[in-house]
Structure 1
Amino acid sequence: MTETKELSRLKLLAKRYARANRIAQHQALDLVAGELGFPNWNKLISVSKKGWLADSVQMASIEAFVTRALPAAIFRDGDPEAMARRFAHLEQAERGMIGDHTYRLQEILHEVIIAGEGWSIRIPENPGAIPIVETFTNQERECPALEPEFLQKALELARDRAVQVRAEISADWPRRSTKPDQSGMVRHPLCRGESDVWFCLHCDGKITSAQIAQNLWHCPACGASPLDIFDTAFWSDDKGESFLPVKTDGSTDRDELDFRIVDSRPKLDLTEEKIILLIRSALLDDATNISEKLGALQAEISVDDENGVWIIIEEDLWPEGKDPVQALAVAKLLGLEVERLSSWSTIPFAWPRLGEIASSTCDYTQMMLDAYAQYGGSPTK
């Protein structure tokens, strides 16, 4: 019997579904048959031999079905309620509400981000990486992402979209990159050959073909991207013989709440470098002419272990009796005691008093060049 175009189309859609979700072809065929009301693909074939054909509405429903992706556990368990619930989540994505809180769901460079006021959740491209929950609100305000029920719903939305994104990646790769053949060989999606063992340049891990294919070619141990995965450990003296196998079964399904919460509010870390930067900026505020600006830039500033800051300024560039008012005020805000000293060292240019009458650095530069031309040698170029 000649295969109908509808049956050929169903097989093609099942093949695409299998590639996208990294499952066996026969599983995808059975899922397609189930969507059409048959217990399995064999039953569908049996009925088709008696004249059954999928109508246009049924074909449209299957085409819509294969554009959506679900975790492998859903395929194995065959839970219709779970499938319907996850499909509903996907249809509500992009912009929506969780309780009284709005959210925005989007994909950026294969990462999925769901965010609202004062919070965000990021799902990395790597299926083995855990979601990062970031909070931004002040301590006085409640953050919905810290409420277990809200967080679980937001994670479900983001994870469902991440599965869909990963399915799209898989569908673009060769079939042999997402599922080992009978001899255990898989093909690198970036055309780096075929092998049943792979090596991570980042952590020196030895990875099986099943592990690397299931994890979308990210190292299951350290999360390195496909760019760091090779079929030979060319950087090793023994070609990777001494590398330890990555201890994981390659599974990426996570039904439990597995995530990391990060408080992303800005935190002030006043290191010595940052304190010096603030004091020097304040000295520039105090400077009223080019000479004093050069003095502020040239000043030696240090911070000791007893909450003290030392400011040493070249006397020829900064008047002896002038207090650095702004620098003192900044130091007070930081809880620092100031010790100010003068020094006599080699100044950057001769005739420092020229800087006291110049109105700008450009004017000062011209005056300095003219003085060197008249009284000294030509400046070094």
Structure 2
Amino acid sequence: MTETNDLHRLKTLAKRYARANRIPQHQALDLIAGKLGFPNWVKLISATKNGWEIDAEKIKGVEAFSRGALPAVTFLKGDPEAMNRRFEYLEQAEHGTIGGHAYRLQEVMGDVIIAGEGWSIRVPENPSAIPVVETYTNPELNCPVLEPEFLQRALRLATDRAGLVRAEISTDWPRRSTKPDLNGVVRHPLGRGESDVWFCLHCDGKITGRQIAETLWHCPGCGASPLDIFETAFWCEDEGKSFLPVKIGTVGQDKPEVQIVDGRPKLDLDEEKITLLMRSALLDDATNVSEKLGALLAEISVDDENDVFIALEVDLWPEDKEPVQALAVSKLLGLETDFVSSWSTIPFAWPGLGEMTLSTSEYTQMMLDAYAQYGGLPDRNAKKE
């Protein structure tokens, strides 16, 4: 394999796939490496250096894979290994149609998902949790999952499959994990002992053995997984004596049969995002290295009403320079922004050197020469205390 042929082709396919599915390119590279039998892209590159070559049929398989799309926004989370497992699930999914609308039905890490164009339904492994319906299209468009008849048919398919998945889980566990004895004692499926009372690390709930067996070891109060269920409340000083009992069926109680949420990406402007955009705009305004440093060191604060206050170091940012791009971003976001000059300790001497160039490397050389002229360079060979 050469960089100019097959390897270059794989990189191009990964780049297109990353853009189409809005995931990081390194993750797309790892996914493609997984399709070729490698745990990640680094291992694939290492193999090519040792003479490994890819045949034409495998290239075709990768091309077919790269044309696919992730099934839902919820599939975008996780490391490359988990992503590859999910794609294996996708390949094993059942396909069909409801009222002319295509769907795929699959099990992912204990949950059952049925999904189509612009929608998905997730039925959690937890029997007491309600299914979640996500839509990804404009509400004004005709999304089939919003039609009651379609929703019920799709939900029935998913819940029937979820019943089979839960049955398989119960079969893999010890019988005493799902069937309490006469005293309500059950055995933890992860080998954490036997008891008639259990405690939830997530919500500090006290759960009876019968309750936890009915919910496949998910907390009936908050829905926490078996990983959060313990025989003793070791994290509490009184060992859980102050914990309140969890009521049966509190998860999903008084809620609709399904929860419909809008899965489209939404812009939530918080202080971190506003600061990031404003600093980027200041960098757009910078015309030399000094001003770039001024943009990077600017103190940006955002109040509770999203009004912005920006303090610019006077030795790095001229007092009479108007931050045009920053003001434009502020206007687009509907923010009130105030700019002031400040005086503080700057990182390098002779800030005027930065006004002579836009190149950071050129500025660095000028700065080093100036420090050297005055004997101000540190001894790089000297050991630090």
Q: TM-score range by the shorter chain?
A: 0.5 to 0.7
2:290 is equivalent to residue 291 of structure 1: yes
| Alpha carbons of structure 1 residues 106 and 362: separation in structure 2 relative to 1, 3 Å | farther
Residue in structure 2 matched with residue 24 of structure 1 by the alignment: none
Task: List aligned pairs for 1:128-143, cutoff 5 A.
Answer: 128-143=128-143
**Distance in 2 separating the partners of 1:295 and 1:309:** 17
| Alpha carbons of structure 1 residues 379 and 160: separation in structure 2 relative to 1, 3 Å | farther
Asked if the contact 1:369–1:379 (Cα under 8 Å) also holds between the matched residues in 2, the reply is no
**Distance in 2 separating the partners of 1:213 and 1:117:** 37
| Alpha carbons of structure 1 residues 115 and 296: separation in structure 2 relative to 1, 3 Å | same
Asked if the contact 1:215–1:250 (Cα under 8 Å) also holds between the matched residues in 2, the reply is no
**Distance in 1 separating the partners of 2:344 and 2:377:** 22
Q: State the shift of 1:328 in Å.
A: 2.0
**Distance in 1 separating the partners of 2:303 and 2:213:** 55
Residue in structure 2 matched with residue 239 of structure 1 by the alignment: 239
TM-score, normalisation: structure 1? 0.68
**Distance in 2 separating the partners of 1:306 and 1:130:** 36
Aligned CA-pair RMSD:
2.9
Q: State the shift of 1:122 in Å.
A: 1.2
Specify the SS of the correspondent of 1:353. helix
Specify the SS of the correspondent of 2:351. coil
2:197 is equivalent to residue 197 of structure 1: yes
The residue type paired with residue 135 of structure 2 is T
| Alpha carbons of structure 1 residues 105 and 377: separation in structure 2 relative to 1, 3 Å | same
**Distance in 2 separating the partners of 1:337 and 1:249:** 48
Residue in structure 1 matched with residue 98 of structure 2 by the alignment: 98
**Structure 1: runs of 5+ lacking an equivalent:** 1-92
Q: State the shift of 1:296 in Å.
A: 0.8
The residue type paired with residue 188 of structure 1 is H
1:128-185 per-position Cα deviation (integer Å, ceiling 9, x unaligned):
1111111121133122222111111111111111111112211111122121234432
2:264 is equivalent to residue 265 of structure 1: yes
Residue in structure 2 matched with residue 311 of structure 1 by the alignment: 310
TM-score, normalisation: structure 2? 0.67
| Alpha carbons of structure 1 residues 208 and 289: separation in structure 2 relative to 1, 3 Å | same
Residue in structure 2 matched with residue 350 of structure 1 by the alignment: 349
Residue in structure 1 matched with residue 83 of structure 2 by the alignment: none
| Alpha carbons of structure 1 residues 163 and 355: separation in structure 2 relative to 1, 3 Å | same
Residue in structure 2 matched with residue 117 of structure 1 by the alignment: 117
Q: State the shift of 1:338 in Å.
A: 4.3
| Alpha carbons of structure 1 residues 138 and 207: separation in structure 2 relative to 1, 3 Å | same
Asked if the contact 2:301–2:310 (Cα under 8 Å) also holds between the matched residues in 1, the reply is yes
Q: State the shift of 1:281 in Å.
A: 0.7
**Distance in 2 separating the partners of 1:290 and 1:250:** 60
Asked if the contact 2:198–2:231 (Cα under 8 Å) also holds between the matched residues in 1, the reply is yes
Asked if the contact 1:106–1:114 (Cα under 8 Å) also holds between the matched residues in 2, the reply is yes
**Distance in 1 separating the partners of 2:112 and 2:309:** 49
Q: State the shift of 1:350 in Å.
A: 0.4
Residue in structure 2 matched with residue 276 of structure 1 by the alignment: 275
Asked if the contact 2:271–2:306 (Cα under 8 Å) also holds between the matched residues in 1, the reply is no
1:49-98 per-position Cα deviation (integer Å, ceiling 9, x unaligned):
xxxxxxxxxxxxxxxxxxxxxxxxxxxxxxxxxxxxxxxxxxxx721111
Q: State the shift of 1:276 in Å.
A: 2.6
Residue in structure 2 matched with residue 219 of structure 1 by the alignment: 219
Aligned pair count reads: 288
**Structure 2: runs of 5+ lacking an equivalent:** 1-92
Task: List aligned pairs for 1:19-38, cutoff 5 A.
Answer: none
| Alpha carbons of structure 1 residues 312 and 245: separation in structure 2 relative to 1, 3 Å | closer
The residue type paired with residue 347 of structure 1 is I
**Distance in 1 separating the partners of 2:202 and 2:305:** 43
**Distance in 1 separating the partners of 2:355 and 2:238:** 69
Asked if the contact 1:214–1:250 (Cα under 8 Å) also holds between the matched residues in 2, the reply is no
Asked if the contact 1:215–1:251 (Cα under 8 Å) also holds between the matched residues in 2, the reply is no
Q: State the shift of 1:323 in Å.
A: 2.5
Q: State the shift of 1:187 in Å.
A: 1.2
Residue in structure 1 matched with residue 362 of structure 2 by the alignment: 363
Q: State the shift of 1:304 in Å.
A: 5.8
| Alpha carbons of structure 1 residues 376 and 342: separation in structure 2 relative to 1, 3 Å | farther
Residue in structure 2 matched with residue 326 of structure 1 by the alignment: 325
